[in-house]
Amino acid sequence: MSSDMQVFRLPDLGEGLTEAELVNWLVAVGDEVKVDQPIAEVETAKSMVEVPSPYAGTVAELHGQAGETLDVGKPLISIARAGAGSGSPAAAAPAALSSGIDASQAVEAAAETYRTEEKAGSGNVLIGYGTPGGATGGRTRPRKASVAVVDRVAEPVAVAEPVLEPSVAGTRIPGKLSAVISPLVRKMARDHGVSLDAIAGTGASGLIRRRDVEAAISAPEAPAAPAPSRVESPAAAEGALDGRTGLAVSARTPVRGVRKAVAANMTKSRSEIPEATVWVDVDATALLEMRAELKKRAPHDTPGLLAFIARFVTAGLKKYPALNTRFETAADGSQEIVGFEGINLGFAAQTDRGLVVPSVRNAHELSARELDAEIRRLTAVARDGKATPTELGSGTFTLNNYGVFGVDGSAAIINYPEVAMLGVGRIIDKPWVVNGELAVRKVTELTLAFDHRVCDGETAAGFLRYVADAIENPGGALADM
């Protein structure tokens, strides 16, 4: 390859994922690009992100089309170096972020630390589900020629570009080359107005990690990304017949992005979790009446019904903590039930891009009004495709309000790796016996799916009855919380 041509390979965008969907190009062949300028929008798992360029120069080739799924490590874009052909080494050296400049072994150790943590699931990623610590079975990448860099360059040096691993290819900054490895970490800092010069990296040789940037941000949020345009493949051939049914094929839709992530998670849940289900009908009349009274007093500051139920759920999980755990099997076959000192309450949110489950962190510390505000905020960012990995992948228990779809109940699939999910059906008028007399009441159905490995039916029924009683007598329940 010409030393004047720089090839940026699709980096691992989180959790060792092996592919990403190219949603949209933000540049075209012939465009001039700068370091950290967004060049493409890509989607992987449940998040979408703008990928910044680690190089400055002229776009020479785009390796892929919108709607195409690209493998991590494959060429994404080729960029001709800025000033190429001028005959001046000084013009070429600053733009070549992977110039192969000699440096200390400590800096190479920093790069290796990044690679190792990325493979192990350290949390030093920008998008994806989050990172399951100690997860195995991910993508393996043979280490190629190592690259060393220095913080200060005495004289410009023009040398042939070395071969880099996809995770670190073209990800350094002139003048501070060892400070930041990942271009996505740099973009995260830039989007939140954080100066990298003011951050002391906690990695080897001062490597700035994602956690260092997060620590400098008071309210971290994911980089803004417009809603993706879905691309579906047409039928393989007009009028082609399906071999099994004999019917004409009307369309073939690739399973990718959110749908692929949901399919993988649900399959894993069904194959690994021996789940059981318990349910109960609940008279929610008193809860609706209490909320209606609160709404008269504060029309614009009254929590929704889901927020009150969420408050009852967190109280119930404190009483029955076995349902707020995780079941783990180690490589040697040993098994553990992992408990948590706190509750991250997930809730299912339907979006244009598919079903996602953002979670309210430390939900047990929030009032119903605070839970309502956080649920509304997370629903908005999830539907905009801006939810962070932490918001999407840190739940310990899921609350699913499928009543909004007009159904009474559901045999839900547990949101792996959690061990339980509570579903709430629609609230409708039903005949109900009150003090020995028949009356019309507002009734809903609660359904609890639970992992039978972590508890027995007595625990599950106890939790479900606790939440049901709180809904039927909300005033007394809230007084005790």
- Kindly list the catalytic residues: 452
Measured CA to CA in angstroms, residue 276 lies from 342, 414, 453, 457, 459 at distances of 24, 10, 10, 8, 12
Tokens for 198, please give them.
């003011």
The answer to whether 94 and 192 are in contact (CB under 8 A) is: no
Tokens for 283, please give them.
């008279």
Helix (H, G, I), strand (E, B) or coil at 426: coil
Nearest to 95, CA basis, from 146, 39, 34, 43? 34
Phi and psi angles of residue 286, each rounded to the nearest 5 degrees, phi first: -65, -35
Q: Would you tell me how many other CB atoms lie within 10 Å of the CB of residue 67?
A: 17
* Cα 14 to Cα 219: distance, rounded to the nearest angstrom: 21
Phi and psi angles of residue 23, each rounded to the nearest 5 degrees, phi first: -80, -45
Give the per-residue SS3 of 4-59. CEEEEECCCCCCCCCEEEEEEECCCCCCEECCCCEEEEEEECCEEEEEECCCCEEE
How crowded is the C-beta side of 442, counted as CA atoms within 13 Å?
Answer: 12
